[in-house]
Chains A and B, each alone.
Chain A
Amino acid sequence: MYQVRDDEPEYAFIPDVAAPASNQWGKNVTLVNTDDALAGKSMHINGDGSVGSSPHRYRQHGFHFTADNCIGCHACEAACSEKNELPAHISFRSVGYLEGGSYPAYRRMNISMACNHCDDPVCLKGCPTRAYTKFAEYGAVLQDPDICFGCGYCTWVCPYNAPQLDPVKGQVSKCNMCVDRLEVGLKPACAAACLGGALDFGVIETTPENREQAKIHIPGFPDPEITHPNIRFQQIKSLPRDMTRTDSTPIRYQRDAQGVEEYKAKSHGAPLPKQWNLLKLSSRENPLVLFTLVTQTVVGAFILLFLGPMFGLEMLGRDTHPYIHAGLLVALIGAQTLALAVSTLHLGKPHRFYRAFNNLKYSPVSREVAGIAVFYNLLVIYSLASVFPTALNWISPTLTHAVLMVCGWGAVIAGPVAIHAMHKIYRIKARPFWNHWQVLTSFYGTMLSLGSLIVGWVFAAMLTLSGEGYGSLLSVLTLPITLGLIVDGIGLIAHGKYLSAYGAEASAAQWQQLTVFGHTHGLRNKLLVLACLLAPGFGLWGMTGGIGLLAWSLLALGCITAAVIGRALFYVLVVPTTMPGAFFWRNQGFEAHARASGLARMEQVGVLPQAEYHDLQKQRVVTDLKNEYYKLRQRGLSYAIRQGWRLVFTRA
């Protein structure tokens, strides 16, 4: 049990006050009844089997934040980091601010924010490994770093930037509501440490002493409808009509009507000339740029290879050009294997990759991984049967045919389904830039255009070498190529309109797209339009021979460039609905500067230097794998088998 001191001050205890039956969304504040199977159990905190005695143990608890009072003194953040032994570059709770007005009629509003232990925990639902649990005790949403494999998806879906991905440890951790303190009746460390009379804690919907408001929104706080967070606010003092952020996120908040409820996030829209910033296209998500593009291309190419011959493109069949066909299949498997390897190594803990399937019920990540695993396996079996038909023919040629048909059709169905699941990953409310059907048109567009282009180009190149013609094939392939480009283009046009109309983080992302990446974005669009015009032109013209190959190669290069730029922009541009940062802490602009200038090399600056981050990740992965290996060797074969069994069959 957490030790309560003899002289523990009264303010540190959670007040025992009556709570309403339901919260502001109509959900019961009481999570389970005391006779429920979940009740009366120990939380086993640090191996302690005792059961907390709070009369409100099974009621949803939450924070109450009086924004009028916060002085930005960092005591809450410090108390949290101290208790949780966090290194400088991580914090579960952060204070940022909005400011507005003109000297001396100036106001700063500080906001202290951690996890809100939401009614609808999107982190929990999104996590593929099921590292998250929402407890009946206090309604705490806890995350278990020992289960997490460091994909960081929870950090994408959370609107409040609560889960913290630590690149050094390769895993996520987050606010644990100080459940050890709650079990003995104490408020969490942050609330007990507050010096401004701002942060408080208790059963949700109970308003602390001397406070009169418990509203669900203040300026700067993301839309509470996304997750139904368990935080309530008091914010009565009037604020200037226009509030700005000091961090580099291009967002401001404006009040359109009377009343503080009406603040809307907007792009700050400062004028900025168009720039290229090609180097800034590279990000932590580069592996995902590769993974998504390759997967979509491979799926498209396989569909073409499999269905083409059935619909009159005999040239693609394995009977017509067996070596090109086989070569292409092997290349597709190679590309897909590489893409899977790269995306797995992108995890904080790659050796825990198998946990990706743990949450098929909720997580789009689990479903995507499952879908791609099915596609990949079918592709491999199909390719084996196709390249080495004799392996099965000795049993029966019908069997070969059956395997080819089952696996082929299976992959043709599984591929697009997996891509659909892949697109669902990005349909995140907390990331409005992504949350649009354009993701789907982009992914399917790539599947069609790049998949067909690759197949067409490989055949054209091979047939040119052997002196054969390929004009008719490419004339037909022009159709899916152009269709893919048009689908992509239509999506982009609609997306642009959506971004302007949606406002907030979406238009902030658009502002960056049109300014910081203005030229780069323009290049992608021009390439797309050009390809849309040239592809049908080449097809109708029936270009062939060496000149034709050169022309198609240039077209393919253009399309691939457009796709890579587009996909890199997709990851770089997204502006999440996070809390406002401060001037140094939680300011991406300063973090970038600290890395570029060398300030980040000082550990106490609290910014991880990028270069070392990669080194650290490599080192850590190698160490992790070695440790797993030694464990297996030490404990012998039976342990390995049991472990394998557990991996495959036991649900965590």
Chain B
Amino acid sequence: MLFGRTRKNPITLPKREVTNWVYTTCGYCSTGCSIEVGVNGQGEAVTSRGVGSADVNRGKLCIKGIFEHELFYSKNRGTRPLLRQQTHTPFQETTWDQALDHTSLEIKRIQQTYGRDSFAIVSTGQLMTEEFYTLGKLARGVIGTNNYDGNTTLCMASAVSGYKRSFGSDGPPGCYDDFSHTECLLAFGSNLPEQHPIIYWRLRQALEKRKFPVIVVDPRVTMFAQFADMHLPITPGTDVVLLNSLAHVILQEGLADMRYIAAHTSGHEEFSALVAQYNPVMAAKICGIDEDTIRNVARLYAKANAAMSIWTMGINQSTHGSDGVVAINNLNLITGNIGKPGGTSLSITGQCNAMGTREWSSCSGLPGYRLLENAQDRQEIADFWGVDPEFFPKKRGLFQTDIFPAIETGQIKGLWLVATNPMTSMPNTGRIRKTLEKLEFLVVQDNYSDVETTEYAHVYLPASIWAEKEGVMTNTERRVNVIRNVLKPYADSKPDLWIFNQMARRFAGGQKIKFPETAPKVFDEMRTLSKGRFLDISGMTHDLIETNRGIQWPMTQGAATGTPRLYSDGRFNHPDRKAKLIALPFIDNNERPDTDYPFWMNSGRVIEHFHTRTRTGKLGNLNKFSPTPYMEMNPDAAHALGVAHMSYVRIVSRRGDAVVMVQLTHRVPRDMVFIPFHFHECVNRVSLGLLDPYSRQPAFKQCAVRVESMSQQAAAVLNLAARSF
């Protein structure tokens, strides 16, 4: 009232009458932020806030977490199971009993007609670990198909594969606390501020307290690249060359930790012989980073008392994704930077529970990092579940990215999709459409009835979302965190755990095996199975996890707390307890730009969206920041083609075309365009997705396109037609 009214008016501000705060963990990315959901007296979820005492996020949330409670009420949630005989007829609402009976009969029919493996299951990184474990039990122990995998093949398979090749086991060895100890951070293909904003904030906090060099390797000038002390704008798909060359300099200049190499690694000779070929002069010509910079970075990294590397999809989604991960591990092994504070090889994972599915889903083997190839592992699980060990295959079946080609050529006739949307997420949409058409039976289990893949589904099962369920998730730093139940399931949707259990009952095998009804009881089975293993969680309970705001595995029974770092003792999980230094010859097999298709097509994430937008595309306060697809394009290239800012163009590749709105910016070089991957009927209509030979992960980020002009009106109509949310 310095100015204005003479009499003070009372102030009215929006206020949520929260009567109960419920502890959960965020269900988007793998950072693993603790969230409290505020519930009012009417039992409605009205607000979200970061948990102040949680070590991961320390009270902070990113834009997606801030609005996470709105998901409960978001549009087009599935309300009732849907059923139809043919995909060209409309869906009819049905009961759970009918939907599940029909599904189980179809699975049995297909398996009896075409063989056990002709029915495939593709799951996700979005469920609770207990649900993954139960689905694994159902798939491996009851249905008995070997074509069972998760969509983590699209995001983390290369990291898993690289960890296994180098260290003998999956499991990120480091943690966020390493930021507080490191003296040099090298980030590969990771746009931390946009993909994992809370991890970026942790890094920022560490940098506020103590300055250390941050080096970002990325073909695009992301915010992270801008803020880095050094930005290495690398030629797409050539990380292995850069990494080999860094190792070359370190070994040649005697900067390597020879004591560590001798004590804890194998394969040194072969490795040294290979990297000897990658001198910086030769490497510079391939990877586009000049030789001085390569030497400078190598020396900086090797001389630091503790140095760490992080990476995300820039490495994983590549034809040398697994090799890229191994190369990063090589770099850290020769500099002795594994398992020590500030020295690590830390993959920044994608989905909230990608780790959970890796650990417990049995996708790539059997629960608890057990292998189908290992007779003892098969026996242990068979005994525990009460099934015949011979029921298990002796070798892992097809990866997700090989399941679809097997449908294409008729070996697989039926498919169950759980919380994944290949119509938008798989490369080469045109091919995926043709593939899905060939299925005799497709069941889609998802939170949303409008998930695009339902176009080809015969049965749709409405699953409950996030904290309508309960269970645990494991984050990037192996922290197991718990989601408590906030609301009862929406409409007639059901928790995935319930769906799996109900499905199990409909099979003869499922009636013999015990399927616990509740998440804590399932967790008890996992605890038992984890005893004495690398990922021991026997010391944890849901309550203890909540009290600690998440616990990092391993935590054996009776231990006071979890374990921040793996391999601190220098003992790895290969039979010789040594890590492997692996020679990585570089083969240039990418579809590179040429005269017909002169642009690299690069793809990536934007902060306001998650994956295929089935959730974030429905919340206005997220979606409004990028409601429609766009393409970053260099103004010089656009000028030559007569393309204007904010106009639509058609991008064309050898696979197909897509309509996008152009955003002119010097973030990308003249021969590259960048398109966010979230949008339906967009980037994956043109992407190639060559598969990594080890991880079978597609190279989403490297292919060649050209840019064509088109009628603005026609483009607007086409674009609108593809935007149902």
Give chain A's interface residues, CB within 8 Å of chain B: 5-9, 11-12, 31-32, 38, 41, 43-47, 69, 71-75, 77-79, 81-89, 99-104, 106-108, 110, 121, 124-125, 130, 132-136, 139, 142, 144, 146-147, 176, 178-180, 192-193, 195-197, 210, 246, 248, 582-585, 589-590, 593-594, 596-599, 602-607, 651-652
Which chain A residue has the least Cβ–Cβ distance from B618?
A604
A515–B226 CA distance with the chains assembled, in angstroms = 36
Q: Is B462 an interface residue (CB 8 A)?
A: no
B residues in contact with A104, CB < 8 Å: 221, 225, 231, 233, 669
**Which of B15, B617, B623, B719 has a CB less than 8 Å from the CB of A606?**
B623
Which chain B residue has the least Cβ–Cβ distance from A583?
B663
A136 touches B2 (CB 8 A): yes
A652 touches B5 (CB 8 A): yes
30 contacts between A and B (CB under 8 A): A5-B52, A8-B52, A11-B59, A41-B8, A43-B8, A45-B12, A46-B13, A78-B67, A85-B14, A89-B620, A99-B666, A99-B667, A106-B221, A107-B226, A110-B223, A132-B3, A133-B8, A144-B11, A176-B11, A195-B193, A195-B197, A246-B665, A584-B630, A598-B720, A599-B723, A603-B620, A604-B617, A604-B627, A606-B623, A606-B627
A79 touches B66 (CB 8 A): yes
Q: Given A44-B10, A73-B607, A108-B667, is A82 in contact with B720 using a C-beta cutoff of 8 Å?
A: no
Give the total of B residues in contact with A, Cβ under 8 Å.
Answer: 75
Nearest CB in chain A: distance from B180 CB, A: 15
A192–B201 CA distance with the chains assembled, in angstroms = 12
B residues in contact with A43, CB < 8 Å: 8, 11
**Which of A8, A78, A106, A651 has a CB less than 8 Å from the CB of B621?**
A78
B residues in contact with A8, CB < 8 Å: 52, 59
A residues in contact with B723, CB < 8 Å: 599, 602
Q: Given A589-B646, A599-B723, is A74 in contact with B608 using a C-beta cutoff of 8 Å?
A: yes
Q: Is B105 an interface residue (CB 8 A)?
A: no
A32–B645 CA distance with the chains assembled, in angstroms = 51
Q: Mark B188-210, 1 if CB is under 8 A from A, else 0.
A: 00000110011011001100100
Q: Given A88-B624, A135-B1, A583-B630, is A71 in contact with B197 using a C-beta cutoff of 8 Å?
A: yes
Q: Is B51 an interface residue (CB 8 A)?
A: yes
B200 touches A195 (CB 8 A): yes
Q: Given A74-B607, A103-B667, is A82 in contact with B67 using a C-beta cutoff of 8 Å?
A: yes
Nearest CB in chain A: distance from B622 CB, A: 8
A197 touches B666 (CB 8 A): no
A residues in contact with B541, CB < 8 Å: none
A196–B208 CA distance with the chains assembled, in angstroms = 11
B residues in contact with A584, CB < 8 Å: 624-628, 630
Q: Given A46-B12, A73-B194, A132-B4, is A602 in contact with B725 using a C-beta cutoff of 8 Å?
A: yes
Which 8 pairs show the lowest CB-CB distances between chains A and B? A88-B620, A606-B624, A7-B52, A133-B4, A7-B53, A44-B10, A71-B193, A604-B620
Q: Is B215 an interface residue (CB 8 A)?
A: no
A99 touches B665 (CB 8 A): yes
B residues in contact with A589, CB < 8 Å: 646
A residues in contact with B666, CB < 8 Å: 99-103, 106
B residues in contact with A195, CB < 8 Å: 60, 62, 193, 197-198, 200-201, 204
B223 touches A72 (CB 8 A): yes
Nearest CB in chain A: distance from B40 CB, A: 13
A residues in contact with B201, CB < 8 Å: 195-197
A residues in contact with B198, CB < 8 Å: 195
A640–B665 CA distance with the chains assembled, in angstroms = 61
Nearest CB in chain B: distance from A268 CB, A: 11
Q: Given A9-B52, A71-B194, A195-B200, is A135 in contact with B621 using a C-beta cutoff of 8 Å?
A: no
B9 touches A9 (CB 8 A): no
Q: Given A106-B667, A197-B208, A590-B646, is A135 in contact with B63 using a C-beta cutoff of 8 Å?
A: no
A133 touches B5 (CB 8 A): yes
A residues in contact with B3, CB < 8 Å: 121, 124-125, 132-134
Q: Given A82-B47, A180-B13, is A9 in contact with B61 using a C-beta cutoff of 8 Å?
A: no
B61 touches A193 (CB 8 A): yes
Q: By CB atoms of chain A within 10 A, which of B221, B666, B717 has the most?
A: B666
A135 touches B208 (CB 8 A): no
A593–B15 CA distance with the chains assembled, in angstroms = 35
Q: Given A133-B1, A193-B66, A589-B646, is A604 in contact with B9 using a C-beta cutoff of 8 Å?
A: no
Nearest CB in chain A: distance from B144 CB, A: 43
**Which of B66, B225, B608, B717 has a CB less than 8 Å from the CB of A82?**
B66
Nearest CB in chain A: distance from B449 CB, A: 17
Nearest CB in chain A: distance from B544 CB, A: 18
Which chain A residue has the least Cβ–Cβ distance from B36?
A5
A133–B9 CA distance with the chains assembled, in angstroms = 9
B residues in contact with A5, CB < 8 Å: 49, 52
B204 touches A196 (CB 8 A): yes
Q: Given A582-B625, A604-B623, is A197 in contact with B197 using a C-beta cutoff of 8 Å?
A: no
Q: Is B6 an interface residue (CB 8 A)?
A: yes
A498–B598 CA distance with the chains assembled, in angstroms = 47
